[in-house]
Structure 1
Amino acid sequence: MNEFRIYLSIETRRNFPKLTQDFLERAKTAEELTALNITSTSDSIIDDHLTSHASLLHSNSSNSMSRNNFKIYSRNSNNDKRHYNNIQLSNSSNQPSHSNKIYGQTSYDSCKDTELSHLSNLETNIPSSQNLQQPQHHYNNSLKKVEEVLIRDQLDVIYSESKALLRNERHQDLALLFKLVNRVPNATNELKKIVENHIYEMGINTIERVSGTAINDPKLYIETILDIHKKYLILVQNVFNNAQDFIIALDKVKKRLTQTAGSTTKSPELLARYCDILLRKGNKGVEETDLEEKFNQIMIVFNYVEDKDVYQKFYSRMLAKRLVGQLSASDDYEESMISKLKQAGGYEYTSKLQRMFQDIGVSKTLVPEYEKYRENHRATGIADFSILVLSSNSWPFSAPPNFILPIELKLTFDSFTDFYIHRHNGRKLTCLHQHSKGELQTFFTRQKYILQVSTYQMVVLLLFNKALNWTVERMQDETQIKSELLLQVLFGLLKSKLLVCTDINEDELDEDLKDTNIKLNYSIRLATNFKSKKLRINLNVPLKSVE
């Protein structure tokens, strides 16, 4: 007579959470299940035996029960003999309550007993099928019945316990729980929803804590999203064995987090700002290898950005300013980032960005060619001159309002225009003065200073080569600069103490003065006693009304 044993293993501890304790109480009457011998080949009888076992596990235990013996008949189909199989159940009063065990085996290969804290741990092991004379389907039916009793009928408790395990980050126990639930068809669907909701809840709470200062600290915001991604990717890999359903659920959560953490434009803008921080000069503390890894991490967030056109718009603007202002840490880094965006978004997505780089390269060859042109034509103008020619449909710039250039600048611009039109017939050049800058040297002070100024500041300061005193109204008439821009320019020069206004006292200038407080009839003059500790002074600051 062939026989095999099924051992069921449950280990408990003291001080369990209530849900788990309730679950274990239902199994308390079955502390020791020994010698369950099944010798019958009849499906119906085996099912009856296991049904009796199932009802036993679900019955309420009584601590007063010291020992129960159940006799179950199983019929041998060959000789109609009856064999008695005893299921012995005991509740030993001298056994510690935190080490009750039910031993079980329901798989082909023997494996070590493992422990799932707070939950039953079903370890399965059945002798090799070559040693069994019973048909394989008898074993399968038995296994299904065990799974039904110990797993499927306890799913509500298991799902509830999984929430506690997630909150407490008990990942090893959660992995064992997943192995149990994964044995039951479709049972992981609810577990997947629980995990998805947990990740979203924890993620959105984390992001909201930093979103208030995100616009001023995009690095913290993006790195917080990346930390969430890394943490829960490890969870899916280690706990859920990289199951495809859980990977898809994680992707859905990350997309929701990227879209709902603020407005739909917030994440794309902050991601572009984070890129700008990494790609600008002066980014200390980031090695070359680290920077490439940062670019890869940026692409993780980029893939979950819903409106990638918004990101492209902000990235394009910031790239343009880095290129025009020569603020890029490295052209190689810029090209590497654009290459990654091209792989993710396609050729059309990055075509304008690539043409911007091409324009910078072409402009570098234009300057020496123009120098030769000046020599051949004996052109006069600015001695040290450089220029960028940008295609209007690739760069995110618009033409500023016209104003009158002083003669010192006009001669050079006219000369370059003639050179360029001669080479490219039919093209038109429009000056982007809001992105132009230059240097002036002072001759009205004892110490000579080099002033780094915008084109607008240069136009205003060059007025004082004509006269030492100007009213605001005369300045505007002479330059044709829009009033709101002119007031901003004058405000900055007054704050630097390079210009003086007799209608504004120093206390007012240092405290409450605004550019709108400057009136058209105010008189402005050069500060002939101007002094500075620096010989090279940067006065070029962004203007509110200009790109």
Structure 2
Amino acid sequence: MVLCVQGGSEKLSDDAVEDTLDKVVKLLAYISDKDLFAEFYRKKLSRRLLHDKSSSDDHERSILTRLKQQCGAQFTSKMEGMVTDLQLAKEKQTAFDEWLVGGGRKLALDISVTVLTTGFWPTYKSIDLSLPKEMVEGVELFKQFYEAVNQHRRLTWIYSLGSCMVKGNFDAKPIEMTMSTMQATVCLLFNDAEELSFEEIKQRVNLQDDDTLRLLHSLSCGKYKLLNKEPATKTINKADKFRFNNKFTDRMRRIKIPLPPVDEKKKVIEDVDKDRKYAIDAAIVRTMKSRKVLQHQQLVMEVVQQLSRMFKPDFKLIKKRIEDLISRDYLERDKENPQMFRYLA
């Protein structure tokens, strides 16, 4: 479910947006798998926040307030943390800029860093990208600034979420291009090389095959062909060679180079399934800790009742989690009645 606050070319009024948000939250009351909705919503929210695609911060907070009232504070805690993170990140960026000026430091390239709290945001793929020298200075200075005031915290750079503004000096005219940090890293390789093979690009930027394929496809086979590929096919092969396309032109002076979309549905479902196992384990232990001894059917029903507000747990999965907790010495079966469980302190 994606919220759309625009209809055609006309922007909806604030009252119309609020009415739409009310309807969405009311609809959520009829959804059994609320945890699945929450994870998909968190993914979409993260994209809007990080890529500045949200129509209004007030509307984002408004629906979170409604969701909190409908489903409880735990349901929205991570989402609220994400919104707070973005505000704190703006303040930290201002402090970094002042730190640079105060220390008489001047960067060759402007850099803007958004610091995220690990527990709030979806899990992102961390890649040890070999940045071009033009970008390394800014990253190292921000790291120096951050660690000076946060001695017990460690930064992990998520380059797959970054974006850059790159100026391409083509034969026809210069064009400003917005692209991902990873795409920019590949493009800048051609400042020092006439031709590079697939393997050479992969090794120089330190990427896996699937990431290299995706990047090179976006730069040589997509709408904007910034690289010429040999042979000139529509698919990327490991034997391909690439050159910078000096003849590239476009009627616009500013363009955005898209990346092929990634289907995140499977990953979201896997993450939710993993979280459900933890939730069922916690519900079983919580129930047995208070009751000490309980019959199998009663235990299952109490666990279902506890978790039904967020999702309907599968009876077979509950049985598997009980067996797992027995193997880890949280519970034990009664020796005379195998349908009876005892809590082990």
Give TM-score, length-normalised by structure 1. 0.46
Report the counterpart of residue 455 of structure 1 in structure 2: 181
Q: CA deviation at 1:502?
A: 3.0
SS of residue paired to 2:214:
helix
Report the counterpart of residue 240 of structure 2 in structure 1: 522
Give matches, 1:10-409, under 5 Å: 272-273=1-2, 275=3, 277-278=4-5, 284-409=10-135
SS of residue paired to 1:528:
coil
Q: Which amino acid aligns with 2:42?
A: S
Report the counterpart of residue 254 of structure 2 in structure 1: 536
CA 1:282/1:425 → structure 2, altered by over 3 Å: closer, same or farther? farther
- Separation in structure 1 between the aligned mates of residue 258 and residue 212 of structure 2, nearest angstrom: 14
8 Å CA contact 2:85–2:115 kept in 1: the answer is yes
SS of residue paired to 2:169:
coil
Does residue 503 of the first structure (1) align with residue 221 of the second (2)? no
Report the counterpart of residue 38 of structure 1 in structure 2: none
Aligned-CA RMSD value: 2.1
* 1:487 pairs with one of 213, 231, 234: 213
SS of residue paired to 1:541:
coil
SS of residue paired to 1:391:
coil
8 Å CA contact 1:380–1:412 kept in 2: the answer is no
CA 1:410/1:428 → structure 2, altered by over 3 Å: closer, same or farther? same
The superposition leaves residues 229-256 of structure 1 with CA deviations (integer Å, 9 ceiling, x where unpaired) of xxxxxxxxxxxxxxxxxxxxxxxxxxxx
Q: Which amino acid aligns with 2:201?
A: M
Q: CA deviation at 1:284?
A: 3.7
- Separation in structure 1 between the aligned mates of residue 107 and residue 209 of structure 2, nearest angstrom: 28
8 Å CA contact 1:281–1:329 kept in 2: the answer is no
SS of residue paired to 1:489:
helix
The superposition leaves residues 363-420 of structure 1 with CA deviations (integer Å, 9 ceiling, x where unpaired) of 1111121112112334353533212111000001324232211111111111101101
Q: CA deviation at 1:490?
A: 1.0
Report the counterpart of residue 156 of structure 1 in structure 2: none
Report the counterpart of residue 428 of structure 1 in structure 2: 154
Report the structure number with the largest CA radius of gyration.
1
8 Å CA contact 2:195–2:243 kept in 1: the answer is yes
CA 1:545/1:421 → structure 2, altered by over 3 Å: closer, same or farther? farther
Higher strand share: 2
Uncovered stretches (5+) of structure 1, i.e. residues with no partner: 1-271
CA 1:306/1:543 → structure 2, altered by over 3 Å: closer, same or farther? closer
8 Å CA contact 1:281–1:327 kept in 2: the answer is no
8 Å CA contact 1:500–1:525 kept in 2: the answer is yes
Q: Which amino acid aligns with 1:497?
A: K
- Separation in structure 1 between the aligned mates of residue 199 and residue 9 of structure 2, nearest angstrom: 44
Q: Which amino acid aligns with 1:313?
A: E
Q: Which amino acid aligns with 1:470?
A: L
Give TM-score, length-normalised by structure 2. 0.72
Uncovered stretches (5+) of structure 2, i.e. residues with no partner: 268-345
Q: Which amino acid aligns with 2:90?
A: K
- Separation in structure 2 between the aligned mates of residue 337 and residue 432 of structure 1, nearest angstrom: 28
- Separation in structure 1 between the aligned mates of residue 55 and residue 263 of structure 2, nearest angstrom: 28
Q: CA deviation at 1:281?
A: 10
- Separation in structure 1 between the aligned mates of residue 23 and residue 170 of structure 2, nearest angstrom: 54
Report the counterpart of residue 171 of structure 2 in structure 1: 445
The aligned length equals: 263
- Separation in structure 2 between the aligned mates of residue 542 and residue 381 of structure 1, nearest angstrom: 32
The superposition leaves residues 257-277 of structure 1 with CA deviations (integer Å, 9 ceiling, x where unpaired) of xxxxxxxxxxxxxxx32x2x3
- Separation in structure 2 between the aligned mates of residue 299 and residue 418 of structure 1, nearest angstrom: 44
8 Å CA contact 1:381–1:412 kept in 2: the answer is yes
- Separation in structure 2 between the aligned mates of residue 363 and residue 281 of structure 1, nearest angstrom: 31
Q: Which amino acid aligns with 1:503?
A: P
Q: Which amino acid aligns with 1:524?
A: F
Q: CA deviation at 1:355?
A: 0.9
Q: CA deviation at 1:309?
A: 0.9
The superposition leaves residues 260-312 of structure 1 with CA deviations (integer Å, 9 ceiling, x where unpaired) of xxxxxxxxxxxx32x2x33x898745222111111111121111111211111
- Separation in structure 2 between the aligned mates of residue 281 and residue 444 of structure 1, nearest angstrom: 38
- Separation in structure 2 between the aligned mates of residue 498 and residue 330 of structure 1, nearest angstrom: 34
8 Å CA contact 1:502–1:523 kept in 2: the answer is yes
Percent identity between the two aligned chains: 25
Report the counterpart of residue 199 of structure 2 in structure 1: 473
Q: Which amino acid aligns with 1:437?
A: S
SS of residue paired to 2:29:
helix
Q: Which amino acid aligns with 1:502?
A: E
